[in-house]
Every structure is written in C-alpha cells, then in structure tokens.
Chain A
Amino acid sequence: DSGVTQTPKHLITATGQRVTLRCSPRSGDLSVYWYQQSLDQGLQFLIQYYNGEERAKGNILERFSAQQFPDLHSELNLSSLELGDSALYFCASSARQGARDTGELFFGEGSRLTVL
C-alpha cells in the first residue's frame, strides 16, 4: 500500500460526459502528479501540483483540468469525453518537506475509465 488513495476505482460513462477523479496523496506529500496509461501507451504525464499550485504540465488536453485543494487532495476533471479517453488514470505523490529526492513517486491503484 503506497498510501495514495484514488477514487473511483472503476468508472463507465458515455461520450460527451464529464467525470471527476479524486486523489488523496500520501500523508505529508506536497506534490501530486496525474498520469494517463492507455492500452498501447506507457505512462503519459498530464500535470503536477505542488502545495496547491500548478507546477508542471505535460500532454494534458484542454478538455482536461485539475486542481489541488488546501488539504492537498487533488481532482482531475475530464470533460467532453471521447472513446479515446478510455484509460487508466494514475495519481502519484512525492516531496515530503525535507526528504531527499530519490526519483521515487508513490502511485495510487488508479482509476479505470471506460468511455462507451
């Protein structure tokens, strides 16, 4: 158990709909990352938040948005869903204050989104 909690675990919805994925980072971690993993793709970095502020953006579509709240949990909002958005969405956390950077991210179990 990494300590990172993601909900929901599974989600089935229709094209054109909007969904929200939630992530609670490991206790004390200030950074939250969102990754997308499709069947034939590796882990694609979407976005990072650090202590409530956006820190880095990857290949995130304009239809997608995210935020990190004062309690450090994060939400990823996916709108106008398309069939191609079906994927596993992972949240990861890192960066306890004062901890040495070891290249380690702690991943949640993921949210599997199916768009029909």
Chain B
Amino acid sequence: GQSLEQPSEVTAVEGAIVQINCTYQTSGFYGLSWYQQHDGGAPTFLSYNALDGLEETGRFSSFLSRSDSYGYLLLQELQMKDSASYFCAVRDLNQAGTALIFGKGTTLSVSS
C-alpha cells in the first residue's frame, strides 16, 4: 500500500522559517503535492514536485528527494495567516484513476 508520514504539529513565531517533512512509501511514484487547509476550510494546492530538487513559489518552497522517498515544505517569513494544516499527498497508484492519498496533516501554529 501507500503511506505518508508527517509531524502532527509544528510551532513557530512570526518571521521565522519552518520546515515540514514528509516521508512516503509507495510502490510507484508520480510526484509529491502539498496542500494548505485553514480550520474548516477547503484544502488549497501549494506545490508539486515530480523531480528531485527545490521548487520555489514566493515564501513557500518544496523539496523532493526521490531516492530518499522524502520531501519537505519550507515556509519562510512566517505570518500569522500561515497558521493552518499542511498536507503532503501522492498519487494513488493502486487505482486506475488520479486520486491523491493524503498524509494526516501537520498543524502549524504561528505566534507573535
């Protein structure tokens, strides 16, 4: 089967940098996605890594190492509005479709 592991909680202060790690186990691999979800809201797409290396989008970056089955989301210049849950996800390759399997999520709390 497929599984993803990520820390359940991370805390940081405004202006800091935080890294949320994700390790995955899957028989095949099609890319690692990251999503943000504010309390009770819709998950929103942040980034996608299909190849090794760093992808940067503004204050957020995502990294992938396929050989280590590992990726991380890096959030810089943290703001209070970044307090949310962050999910890593991989393609469900056990199925013919294109559904994503999500990790249990990391709750990020940013304090002033």
Check if A and B associate: yes
Selecting from B13-21, B74-82, B90-98, the interface stretch reads B90-98
Given contacts A56-B95, A108-B42, A109-B42, contact A43 B31 (CB under 8 A): no
Check B98–A48 contact: CB distance below 8 A. Answer: yes
- Which residue from B30, B89, B97, B103 sits with its C-beta under 8 Å from A56? B97
Please name 7 pairs of A and B residues whose Cβ atoms are closer than 8 Å in the assembled complex, sorted by A: A2-B44, A33-B99, A42-B105, A55-B97, A58-B95, A101-B98, A103-B48
Which chain B residues have a beta carbon within 8 Å of chain A's beta carbons?
A: 30-33, 40-45, 48, 50, 87, 89, 91-92, 95-105
Of the listed stretches A16-24, A61-69, A74-82, A87-95, chain B binds A87-95
**Which of B41, B43, B44, B91 has a CB less than 8 Å from the CB of A43?**
B43
> Please, how many residues of chain A have a CB less than 8 angstroms from a CB on the other chain?
31
Are B98's CB and A31's CB within 8 A? yes
Seed contacts A42-B102, A42-B104, A56-B95; 18 additional CB < 8 Å A-B pairs: A31-B97, A33-B99, A42-B105, A43-B43, A43-B105, A45-B92, A48-B97, A48-B98, A48-B99, A55-B95, A55-B97, A88-B40, A92-B43, A94-B98, A102-B48, A104-B48, A105-B45, A112-B40
Indicate if A97 sits at the interface (CB-CB under 8 A): no
State whether A103 touches B102 (Cβ < 8 A). no
- Contact at A58–B102, with CB atoms within 8 Å? no
Residue of B nearest to A91 (CB): B42
Using known A-B contacts A55-B95, A56-B95, determine if residue A103 contacts B100 with beta carbons closer than 8 Å. yes
Kindly list chain A residues whose C-beta atoms are within 8 Å of the C-beta of B45: 103-106
Closest to A49 in B: B97
Q: B87 to A43, Cβ gap below 8 A?
A: yes
Minimum CB–CB distance from B89 to chain A (whole Å) comes to 7
Q: Answer whether A58 and B42 are a contact pair too, CB < 8 Å, given A41-B104, A42-B105, A102-B48.
A: no
In Å, the complex CA distance between A25 and B32 comes to 23
10 tightest A-B CB contacts, nearest first: A56-B97, A56-B95, A55-B97, A103-B48, A103-B33, A42-B104, A107-B42, A43-B102, A48-B97, A104-B45
Say which residue of A4, A55, A103, A110 sits within 8 Å of B91 (CB atoms). Answer: A103
